[in-house]
């Protein structure tokens, strides 16, 4: 009889004692929005996974209004600290504009969002190239020759980069600045290869010019600097001082430098 009563009691309360193990909707907190350099750093915290498998954590945001759904400007994170904290870094947001940020979590049982944080992106201080005083807008000096140029900014479908193409006129060199993603105000370092595994502060600079009977494309040396003086939703300005590259003519190498300042509409 004792065993029967025990079984009855156990069956009655089998699922009643372990509330910690109950399935429930997850909970997440939007902890803070801060600026670091020209990056906006978002921090969130997973409060409760609801005892369900976590698919992802991330942030959504919108300008001038609370994001209606989690897919609005969604940025996902791939690392969560042991205490449940997670972070994401955003670049290229419009300066002097108010954004609304919200953390979210997706589990097997659905999703949950944290509270909304309103944040005004500050105007970042524009970096100045060392030779700034010697530069004129939309003028480029290559190998001692001066060119009046036109610049076009666009996202490259082919290489998945954000390119600024500088046209120095017919029969003159073309210069391409390839950023891994839309640049922000700041200083970028030249690199020969830009891909998704590189750092976001890399830029590939290549000059295409006619040498002999054909066109050749030459990258500038790595480790030099390109200054993005202005980058917002309307306009981009970048400047560069004495970017060195090697040009080969008749099997002879020449050291050449490139300087200039260009302005482009942002698309």
CA dihedral sign of residues 263, 97, 37, 132: positive
Q: Which is nearer to other proteins, 17 or 252 (CB)?
A: 17
The nearer residue to other proteins, 15 or 159, going by C-beta atoms, is 15
Work out how close the CB of 12 gets to other proteins at its nearest, in angstroms, rounded to a whole number: 5
Q: In terms of DSSP bridges, do strands 75-77 and 85-90 run parallel, antiparallel, or are they unpaired? A: unpaired
Query: Per residue in 60-85, is it b (16+ CB within 10 Å) or e — as a string?
Result: bbbeeeebeebeebeeebeebeeebe
For other proteins, how many residues bind (rule: CB under 8 A)? 31
Of 54 and 247, nearer to other proteins (C-beta) is: 54
Q: Which of residues 178-237 bind other proteins (CB under 8 A)?
A: 196
Given 4, 144, 171, 213, the residue binding other proteins (CB under 8 A): 4
Return the number of the residue (4 or 252) whose C-beta is nearest other proteins: 4
The HSE-up count of residue 51 (CA atoms within 13 Å, CB side) is: 7
Q: Minimal distance in Å, beta carbon 29 to other proteins? A: 17
Beta carbon nearer to other proteins, 51 or 208: 51
Based on the shown chain and the rule CB under 8 A, indicate whether residue 1 belongs to the binding site for other proteins.
yes
Spatial strand order in the sheet of 110-120? 75-77, 54-63, 98-107, 110-120
d(CA 158, CA 187) in angstroms, rounded, equals: 25
111 binds other proteins (CB under 8 A): yes
SS3 content of the chain, % helix, strand, coil (to 5): 5, 55, 40
The distance of closest approach from Cβ of residue 20 to other proteins in the complex, given in angstroms and rounded to an integer, is: 10
Residue 40 in contact with other proteins, rule: CB under 8 A = no
Stretch that binds other proteins, among 11-19, 179-187, 222-230, 246-254 (CB under 8 A): 11-19
DSSP class of residue 223 equals T
In angstroms, the CA 131 to CA 22 distance is: 65
Side-chain half-sphere of 216: how many Cα atoms within 13 Å? 12
> Where on the chain is the footprint of other proteins (CB under 8 A)?
1, 4, 7-8, 11-12, 14-15, 18-19, 21-25, 51, 55-56, 58, 68-71, 74, 76, 106, 109-112, 196
């Amino acid at each position: 009889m004792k065993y029967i009563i025990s079984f009855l009691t156990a069956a009655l309360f089998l699922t009643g004692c372990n509330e910690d193990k109950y399935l429930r909707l997850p909970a997440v907190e939007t902890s803070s929005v801060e600026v670091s350099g020209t990056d906006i750093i978002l921090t969130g915290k997973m409060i409760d996974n609801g005892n369900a498998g976590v698919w992802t954590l991330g942030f959504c945001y919108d300008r001038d209004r609370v994001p209606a759904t989690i897919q609005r400007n969604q940025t996902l994170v791939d690392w969560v600290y042991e205490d449940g904290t997670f972070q994401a870094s955003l670049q290229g947001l419009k300066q002097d504009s108010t954004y609304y940020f919200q953390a979210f979590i997706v589990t097997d049982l659905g999703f949950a969002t944290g509270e909304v944080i309103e944040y005004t992106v500050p105007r970042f201080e524009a970096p100045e190239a060392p030779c700034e005083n010697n530069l004129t807008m939309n003028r480029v000096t290559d190998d001692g020759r001066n060119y009046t140029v036109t610049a076009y900014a666009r996202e490259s479908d082919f290489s998945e980069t954000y390119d600024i193409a500088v046209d120095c006129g017919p029969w003159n060199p073309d210069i391409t600045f390839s950023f891994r993603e839309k640049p922000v105000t700041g200083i970028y370092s030249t690199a020969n290869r830009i891909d998704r595994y590189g750092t976001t502060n890399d830029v590939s600079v290549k000059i295409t010019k006619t040498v002999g009977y054909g066109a050749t494309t030459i990258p500038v040396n790595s480790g030099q600097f390109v200054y993005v003086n202005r980058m917002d939703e309307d306009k981009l300005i970048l400047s560069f001082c004495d970017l060195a590259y090697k040009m080969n003519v008749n099997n002879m190498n020449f050291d050449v430098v490139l300087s200039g300042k260009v302005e482009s509409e942002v698309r």
